[in-house]
């Protein structure tokens, strides 16, 4: 976020250098206004910048969420791993379809009941799509992930997943 804040400050400095100062006859105070008294271009620019910042922040939050999930899985805390799933989540695998957070958690606990079976999970974002609202906030996201389970006594496992994220 520090880089985006710096970038925003640079843009603000540029915008201020393109404005004109007008003195108030009553107070002689300096008032900064966009050139031509037209705020519409400034507002549109600010809205675009705000939307871009929101998208960068959402991307960072998603990456942090996935990193936390990798740590939770590897530590054996499957309850925490699944706590971010929606109640009506759907899990699709070659073995079938599992519906509901509780059922998915039960499936994980059955299949990955030991540290050796769980291994060390890594999740890497391959593609990320953000769905912005009209005001620039992110309404939802979908991500293609490459997951990898490194295990000692079993072959490693890896694959691709598609996840859909939405705020709640």
Q: Is the dihedral of CA 109, 111, 113, 117 positive or negative?
A: negative
Residue 1: Cβ within 10 Å count: 9
Tens digit of pLDDT for each residue in 43-54? 666 666 676 777
167: DSSP letter: -
Based on DSSP, count helices (H) and strands (E) in the chain, helices before strands: 5, 7
pLDDT in the model for residue 21: 42
Can you name the residues that pair with 125 across neighbouring β-strands?
A: 145
Average pLDDT over residues 20-43: 54
Name the more confident of 46 and 11. Answer: 46
CB 78 within 8 A of CB 105: yes
What average pLDDT is seen over the chain?
79
Q: Is the pTM of this model over 0.75?
A: no
């Amino acid at each position: 976020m520090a880089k985006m804040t710096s970038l925003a400050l640079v843009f603000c400095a540029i915008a201020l250098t393109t404005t004109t100062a007008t003195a108030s006859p009553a107070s002689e105070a300096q008032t900064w206004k966009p050139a031509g008294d037209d705020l519409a271009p400034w507002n549109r620019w600010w809205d675009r910048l705000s939307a871009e910042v929101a998208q960068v922040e959402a991307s960072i939050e998603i990456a942090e969420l996935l990193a936390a999930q990798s740590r939770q899985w590897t530590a054996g805390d499957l309850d925490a791993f699944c706590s971010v799933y929606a109640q009506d989540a759907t899990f699709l695998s070659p073995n079938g379809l599992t519906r509901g957070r509780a059922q998915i958690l039960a499936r994980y606990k059955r299949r990955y009941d030991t540290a050796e079976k769980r291994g060390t999970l890594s999740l890497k974002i391959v593609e990320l799509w953000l769905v912005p609202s009209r005001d620039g906030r992110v309404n939802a996201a979908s991500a293609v992930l490459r997951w990898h389970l490194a295990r000692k006594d079993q072959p490693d496992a890896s694959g691709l997943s598609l996840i859909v994220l939405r705020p709640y």
